[in-house]
Amino acid sequence: MKKTSTRLADGRELMYFDARDDVVRDAPDLRPLEATTTASEIRYDPLLDEWVVIASHRQGRIYHPPANECPLCPSRDGRLSEIPAADYDVAVFENRFPSLTMAAAAATASTVLPGGSERLGADGLALTRPGVGRCEVVCFTSNHDASFADLTPQQVGLVLDAWTDRTAELSALPGVEQVFCFENRGAEIGVTLGHPHGQIYAYPFVTPRTERMLAAAAAHRRRTGRNLFDDLLAAERATQGTPGDRVVIAGEHWTAFVPHAAHWPYEVHLYPNRRVGDLLALNDAERAEFCTVYLDLLRRFDLLFDTPGNRTPYIAAWHQSPVGSAPGSGSELALHMELFTIRRTVGKLKFLAGSESGMDVFINDVSPETAAQRLREVSP
């Protein structure tokens, strides 16, 4: 893998990840761009003990452009895009409309706390911090009409290299506490650009979801002396061949299963069989098998429903340990991917209505065992 770092016309970083070492990436960004401006801040919710990102400048971001104006396609035939090269393997760049940025200005109209970064309102509750962090866009391929499931294992390996590289570099940025790699696919999910791409967020806090998992793991450790994720994976693998079988794919190095208490109609968790804390800790064999297992899983998702082009809308989310956690198998949180769709059947979506949005209590219309059986049946 060869990585080339350059700058766009407004100063944002752009990185090319190429499979060949002899590729030269020197095409300049010829667009007359002004420097980006952001108004990002994070505000503390004392009722839920969590941070909320306020990024009002994102209202003006690009929304469903026609294919011939896609900003993620290569720059060709006189049309300039976010990627100056006429072709690319994998490209990663700083989002022009980021929710978080290392250049975030300090919040105003409040009292500065000791240390200078946090500000507290006169009521003593309205805690605000600059929205410091980083948001990047990951373009999986230059082919606008492809999807992740269309990639070859070698192309997936290059994307995995990019995710790993960005996890390492973003984790080293001052103030970053967690790195989140993810993909949203489909207009039903809320995707505004049709080109196959994902994103990476570098948060200035540990996310609420991760905090809850870590708290559950700590409680399990106190009760049993064992790791929660190890026990969970072992329990799911033990269902194989039983009436309650929830395993979809059982590889030498990875296991994909529908969790016992799945929130979504079709939800699969993908774990390495050896517990590691983040992408950096995967070995060569694990990295190689991931490429084939993940493609198998995505292609099964695409066969679930009779949708246009057989492309099921989904979210794919990597869960990694917070920055500074114990490396390798010493991490209490296990690296894993959670893949799920909001589609529950043909022509019907799972909406987050009163119970889910109002109380965080999910109601699933598809039993996990039925979902797992269906995913095993639709083998590509």
Residues 6+ apart with CB under 8 A from 3: 15, 16, 17, 18, 165
> What span, in angstroms and rounded, lies between the C-alpha atoms of 282 and 174?
25
Specify whether 154 is located in the same domain as 303: no
Element holding 373 (H helix, E strand): helix 368-377
The owner of tokens 């990597």 is: 318
Residue from 280, 269, 292, 55 nearest 155 by CA: 292
232 touches 168 (CB < 8 A): no
Specify whether 145 is located in the same domain as 16: yes
Specify whether 164 is located in the same domain as 66: yes
Specify whether 21 is located in the same domain as 104: yes
* DSSP H stretches of helix in 178-329: 208-224, 228-237, 284-302
R_g (Cα) of the chain, nearest Å: 21
Specify whether 193 is located in the same domain as 223: no
What is the edge-to-edge ordering of all strands in the sheet holding 13-18? 2-7, 13-18, 90-94, 134-139, 197-203, 178-185, 314-319, 336-341, 266-272, 254-257, 247-250
Residue from 195, 197, 319, 336 carrying the catalytic annotation: 197
Single residue among 171, 203, 235 that ends a domain in this structure: 203
Single residue among 153, 171, 203 that ends a domain in this structure: 203
Specify whether 338 is located in the same domain as 221: yes
Q: Which domain holds residue 86?
A: 2-203
Residues 6+ apart with CB under 8 A from 241: none
Beta bridge partners of 315: 184, 340
**Burial per residue of 127-164, b for 16 or more beta-carbon CB atoms within 10 angstroms, e otherwise:** bbbbbbbbbbbbbbbbeeeebbbbbeeebbbbbbbbbb
* The CA-based dihedral angle spanning residues 249, 378, 291, 165, taken in that order and rounded to the nearest 10 degrees: -100
Amino acid at 364: N
Specify whether 271 is located in the same domain as 314: yes
For residue 45, CA distances in Å to 50, 177, 373 come to 5, 18, 41
pLDDT of res. 66: 73
Specify whether 221 is located in the same domain as 198: no
Specify whether 190 is located in the same domain as 256: no
Active site residue 220: no
Task: Domain count for the chain, please give it.
Answer: 2
Specify whether 245 is located in the same domain as 114: no
From the CB of residue 198, how many other CB atoms can be counted at a distance below 10 Å? 22
Residue from 193, 242, 224 nearest 72 by CA: 193
pLDDT of res. 118: 64
Specify whether 278 is located in the same domain as 292: yes
Three-class SS of residue 208?
helix
Specify whether 28 is located in the same domain as 143: yes
Angle of CA points 177, 183, 186, to nearest 5°: 145
pTM assigned to the model? 0.93
130 touches 104 (CB < 8 A): yes
Element holding 369 (H helix, E strand): helix 368-377
Which parts of the chain register pLDDT below 70?
A: 57-64, 67, 105-122, 307-308
pLDDT of res. 119: 65
Which pair of tokens denotes residue 262?
Answer: 């799945």
pLDDT of res. 112: 46
Q: Could you read off the pLDDT of 154-173 as tens digits, one per residue?
A: 999 999 999 999 999 999 99
Domain harbouring 12, CATH code: 3.30.428.10
219 by Cβ neighbours in 10 Å (0-12 / 13-18 / 19+) ranks as: exposed
pLDDT of res. 306: 76
For residue 288, CA distances in Å to 108, 153, 154 come to 49, 8, 9
The owner of tokens 């190689």 is: 288
Single residue among 203, 231, 259 that ends a domain in this structure: 203
